[in-house]
Chain A
Amino acid sequence: MAIATTPQLDAAQPVPASPPPAMPVSLEVNGKRRQLEVDTRTTLLDVLRDHLHLTGTKKGCDHGQCGACTVIVNGERINSCLSLAVMHEGDRITTIEGLGTPDKLHPMQAAFVRHDGFQCGYCTPGQICSAVAVLDEIRAGVPSHVTASLTEAPQVTNAEMRERMSGNICRCGAYSNILEAMTEVAGDGA
């Protein structure tokens, strides 16, 4: 964080600068093998945005509080800001760019356009990655906080979807429309 600090440093002159520690890492991003040498402090999010120029994944808070950086890693959604890139050796990563393109939209992307499930568009890639993964989670029987029974398969209900999407903040307030988009896609896929 950007507050001025008062570190307890020796009053002597600073030691000469040493280069930052770097490590090789190999990722499979949207089906493509990417070999990188990264600063060990670099998050998966910053690798995607600043090293691979996949800027569809957004940085909203960098603290796991907003969901804008959601990507799908090995089939599960994560906040890419909370994860260091070097932790993902060999991982399969799908970003919004891997779901579809303007000429060939993923069904969830098309549903978001149809239902106006966004306004400013900044949280949108994260919402869409989450939405796709949420429907997979429900189909896979993963329970949530609102699932009434742990022994029966969860259903695609409004309450289930809203609960599972609640880590993705949309300050423009498109929630009502996002639910409609998800409901449509869930219905098509059933």
Chain B
Amino acid sequence: MKFDTPAGQNPIDQLRVVGKPTHRIDGPLKVTGTAPYAYEHHDVAPNAAYGFIVGAAIAKGRITSMDLKYAKAAPGVLAIVTAADAGPLGKGKFNTAKLLGGPEVDHYHQAIAIVVAETFEQARHAASLITVQYARAEGRFDLAAAKDDAGPSEPSATVGDFDQAYAAAPVKLDATYTTPDHSHAMMEPYATVAAWEGDQLTVWTSNQMIDWGRTDLATTLGIPAEKVRMVSPYIGGGFGGKLFLRSEAVMAALGARAAKRPVKVAMPRPFSINNTTHRPATIQLIRLGATPDGKITAFAHESWSGDQPGGGPEVAVQQSRLLYAGANRLIRTRLAVLDLPEGNAMRAPGEAPGMMALEIAMDEMAEKLGMDPVEFRIVNDTQVDPENPSRKFSQRQLVECLRQGAERFGWNRRNAKPGSVRDGRWLVGMGMAAAFRNNMNFTSGARVRLGDDGMVTVETDMTDIGTGSYTIIAQTAAEMMGVDLDRVVVRLGDSNFPVSSGSGGQFGANSSTSGVYAACVKLREAVAQRLGFNASEATFADGQVRSGNRSVALADAAKAGEIVAEDRMEWGDLEKTYQQSTFGAHFVEAAVDMATGETRIRRMLAVAAAGRILNPISARSQMIGAMTMGVGGALMEELAVDKRFGFFVNHDLAGYEVPVHADIPHLEVVFLDETDPIVSPMKAKGIGELGLCGVGAAVANAIYNATGVRVRDYPITLDKYLDRLPQMA
């Protein structure tokens, strides 16, 4: 099915199941520990041996020698594989750096060997006995130092004449912001069980994008894709880190081939942060010019980031092309070459760090103009793409989000004068930011079966990384086939199933349910045909198929045998004709201890407009989860770069701090009532990343309002403002 005209009325609009607050259907398995994650498939490979990966101890250079003899002689060792004996390996389309290094080393902790042994303890010990000699080479590890050598990258755009408009603007802001490298730090480590049967490889792994992973694993091993099966039914978080094939899957496959046994590998936590990908640091220059009434006349956002040779930029300017009006615009992206580990997508790539900077700049500009920050944003709203005014947004309720948020949060109680509200030893402030993230649709397929017991089974290689895919896919099939939720079985994350959108970029929910919609339309046709109904007239409800005055139980259609239908949703030009984006507003109240500088978040509210909300329970959880991650970005998250030796120093969960229970108060989320028929037959958009975009700046602005100290370098740790806090009375 191709979606190339806006959706009319369709069975989803009945909203008997879709749109209803629905507890996760996989919930009972997850809360009892019975949902099997990657490393836990004992049943499929009961004789699996254990693999332990050895990582490079230098950031750049060459391995001059590896002495394996002690490791080989260690108890229980079955095989050791290095680049020297792995045979020729390719590189996956989605990988920048090689997943098995040697003799060249591209980054610190790049995998250089796997040791396979009978037990985990034996493999770990033997790995420690490998002696490696390196010839260390000079590397580039400092973004600020590499900034002037950074080359042009995309996106870039110019509209009107920024320089002239900026020079002429009566009110101006010129400020530079920085965001550090971030780690996904998902709770489940990267893990894979690999088993060969002849030339056929099966990997039970933890991967957001089954088809990408399967294809890249085949490419890396130099075998046809159909020789690889990838299975990933439960994923303990990804946040973009598991979008791509990673080294543990490749090393498990190589280890299993060498040991002639299934091999299981989980990356040790302190290894994964430098071995895998991260969100790259940015330096962002924002210049705004406005007239005294607050209309932006000149808008420039330029961003610098770095990556491995052949890598890509952090597209932090993305939202700045679309979020606010302004006739004269300049958008620039610069990319430096760095020899740090590979930079890549992390939750809301682009907008997450971009909004952290832009929405502080908007706060600063509002203050210069003497305007309320909510009002300043409303004044600069645009209903069309500022770079192409003939192009409208499919839906854009930013202003409504801002107004409702301000009303619900009690924004009118904010004192605009910074540092002027006290509560005992606490300086208290309120801050806000807009939320913005583009919507994307990916081709997504599904197979739907109607069994002779009347059960509807959905099969797709879609993944559930905590987002709630199992549940919204079940809701979609139940709505389409007119059955209760308990009559639907959902099977995900297996490359034997039709290729789906996968999970990432907040495209998963809308794309994958649209694919299920398409397959269900086909199944409805097949059912109608089997029952002798006219498919266009048949209705499906309450387990019955009705047409005219005839009514037959749905299950009866499959009495003569299971009915199977498969289709995929493809997308036409509507995302070119219309700009499809999601909007919101974040409000934060923060308190800063006058004496110690400690920051506490007191209240948070997000108002979001993202099309139809398929399941308000899991959608709200996506929002509060993103807001929590946003607090991390604002207050604590930073991969500290060792600029001499080129690695992230704080590469574990003690050193890389993320929010814990004590950091997060009760979080409020409001969804605006919205359907977006231009986007899909589900009339839904992504929600998983919107909640992260802007929230860090809302925290930063609240701290500024509390203290009067503006910090432009994230994270806003107390060492950056303690000496500037107001004098204690």
**Is the pair A113, B23 in contact by a Cβ cutoff of 8 Å?**
yes
Q: Which of B172-198 contact A (CB under 8 A)?
A: 184-189
Contacts of A179 in B (CB 8 A): 661, 666
**Is the pair B33, A165 in contact by a Cβ cutoff of 8 Å?**
no
Contacts of B268 in A (CB 8 A): 1-2, 62
Q: Which of A48-100 contact B (CB under 8 A)?
A: 49-50, 53-63, 65-66, 68, 95-97, 99-100
**Is the pair B73, A14 in contact by a Cβ cutoff of 8 Å?**
yes
| B23 partner, pick from A114, A119, A124, beta carbons under 8 A | A114
**Is the pair A116, B30 in contact by a Cβ cutoff of 8 Å?**
no
How far is the CB of A29 from the nearest CB of chain B, in Å? 13
Interface 0/1 of B608-639, CB less than 8 Å to A? 00000000011011101111110000000000
Interface 0/1 of A147-171, CB less than 8 Å to B? 0000000000010011101111111
**Is the pair A57, B33 in contact by a Cβ cutoff of 8 Å?**
yes
Contacts of A4 in B (CB 8 A): 54-57, 112-113, 130-132
User: Is A26 close to B, CB under 8 A?
Assistant: no
Contacts of B75 in A (CB 8 A): 17-20
Known: A2-B53, A4-B130. A119 touches B466 (CB 8 A): yes
Alpha-carbon gap, A100 to B27, bound state (A): 13
User: Is A138 close to B, CB under 8 A?
Assistant: no
**Is the pair B120, A50 in contact by a Cβ cutoff of 8 Å?**
yes
Return the chain A residue nearest B237 by Cβ: A120
Known: A63-B269, A170-B187. A17 touches B131 (CB 8 A): no
Known: A9-B131, A59-B266. A174 touches B625 (CB 8 A): yes
How far is the CB of B273 from the nearest CB of chain A, in Å? 11
Alpha-carbon gap, A173 to B72, bound state (A): 43
Known: A122-B237, A174-B625. A116 touches B33 (CB 8 A): no
Contacts of A169 in B (CB 8 A): 187, 653, 658, 660
**Is the pair A171, B121 in contact by a Cβ cutoff of 8 Å?**
no
Alpha-carbon gap, A16 to B74, bound state (A): 8
**Is the pair B625, A102 in contact by a Cβ cutoff of 8 Å?**
no
User: Is B35 close to A, CB under 8 A?
Assistant: yes
**Is the pair B57, A3 in contact by a Cβ cutoff of 8 Å?**
yes
Alpha-carbon gap, A33 to B127, bound state (A): 34
Kindly name the residue among A14, A41, A116, A161 whose own CB sees the greatest number of chain B CB atoms within 10 A.
A116
**Is the pair A102, B658 in contact by a Cβ cutoff of 8 Å?**
no
**Secondary structure of the A contact surface, majority rule:** loop
Alpha-carbon gap, A50 to B130, bound state (A): 26
How far is the CB of A37 from the nearest CB of chain B, in Å? 12
Contacts of A68 in B (CB 8 A): 187
**Is the pair B239, A101 in contact by a Cβ cutoff of 8 Å?**
no
Interface 0/1 of A115-158, CB less than 8 Å to B? 01011111111001000000000000000000000000000001
**Is the pair B188, A120 in contact by a Cβ cutoff of 8 Å?**
yes
**Is the pair A7, B624 in contact by a Cβ cutoff of 8 Å?**
no
**Is the pair B236, A177 in contact by a Cβ cutoff of 8 Å?**
no
Alpha-carbon gap, A49 to B73, bound state (A): 28
Known: A3-B57, A6-B132, A173-B625. A55 touches B33 (CB 8 A): yes
Contacts of B583 in A (CB 8 A): none
How far is the CB of B190 from the nearest CB of chain A, in Å? 12
User: Is B37 close to A, CB under 8 A?
Assistant: yes
Contacts of A65 in B (CB 8 A): 269, 652-654
**Is the pair A121, B55 in contact by a Cβ cutoff of 8 Å?**
no
How far is the CB of B243 from the nearest CB of chain A, in Å? 15
How far is the CB of A179 from the nearest CB of chain B, in Å? 7
Return the chain B residue nearest A15 by Cβ: B73
User: Is A35 close to B, CB under 8 A?
Assistant: no
Alpha-carbon gap, A116 to B468, bound state (A): 10
User: Is B228 close to A, CB under 8 A?
Assistant: no
**Is the pair A122, B187 in contact by a Cβ cutoff of 8 Å?**
yes
| A9 partner, pick from B24, B26, B70, B271, beta carbons under 8 A | B70
Known: A118-B30, A118-B31, A176-B665. A66 touches B120 (CB 8 A): no
| B269 partner, pick from A61, A95, A105, A173, beta carbons under 8 A | A61
Alpha-carbon gap, A41 to B76, bound state (A): 14
Contacts of B237 in A (CB 8 A): 119-120, 122, 171-172
Known: A65-B269, A105-B32. A13 touches B665 (CB 8 A): no
**Is the pair A168, B661 in contact by a Cβ cutoff of 8 Å?**
yes
Kindly name the residue among B26, B30, B235 whose own CB sees the greatest number of chain A CB atoms within 10 A.
B30
Alpha-carbon gap, A179 to B130, bound state (A): 47
User: Is B507 close to A, CB under 8 A?
Assistant: no
User: Is B662 close to A, CB under 8 A?
Assistant: yes
Contacts of A102 in B (CB 8 A): 28-29, 32, 34
User: Is B119 close to A, CB under 8 A?
Assistant: yes
User: Is B425 close to A, CB under 8 A?
Assistant: no
User: Is A184 close to B, CB under 8 A?
Assistant: no
Alpha-carbon gap, A9 to B468, bound state (A): 52
Alpha-carbon gap, A119 to B184, bound state (A): 15
Known: A50-B120, A60-B269, A173-B627. A123 touches B112 (CB 8 A): no
**Is the pair B621, A177 in contact by a Cβ cutoff of 8 Å?**
yes
| B187 partner, pick from A20, A66, A175, A176, beta carbons under 8 A | A66
**Is the pair B628, A60 in contact by a Cβ cutoff of 8 Å?**
no
User: Is B510 close to A, CB under 8 A?
Assistant: no
Alpha-carbon gap, A63 to B36, bound state (A): 22
Return the chain B residue nearest A40 by Cβ: B121
Alpha-carbon gap, A68 to B40, bound state (A): 15
How far is the CB of B651 from the nearest CB of chain A, in Å? 9
Contacts of A120 in B (CB 8 A): 186-188, 234-238, 465-466
**Is the pair A176, B666 in contact by a Cβ cutoff of 8 Å?**
yes
**Is the pair B130, A171 in contact by a Cβ cutoff of 8 Å?**
no
How far is the CB of A44 from the nearest CB of chain B, in Å? 13
Alpha-carbon gap, A190 to B611, bound state (A): 42
**Is the pair B653, A55 in contact by a Cβ cutoff of 8 Å?**
no
**Is the pair A61, B652 in contact by a Cβ cutoff of 8 Å?**
yes
Contacts of A2 in B (CB 8 A): 52-55, 109, 127, 267-268, 270-271
Question: 8 closest Cβ contacts across the A-B interface?
Answer: A56-B33, A122-B236, A173-B628, A120-B466, A121-B30, A119-B466, A173-B625, A55-B40
User: Can you give 23 A-B contacts (C-beta < 8 A)?
Assistant: A2-B270, A6-B131, A14-B70, A20-B75, A53-B42, A61-B269, A61-B653, A65-B653, A65-B654, A97-B33, A112-B31, A118-B31, A122-B188, A125-B31, A125-B32, A162-B664, A168-B660, A169-B660, A170-B187, A171-B658, A174-B624, A175-B659, A176-B667
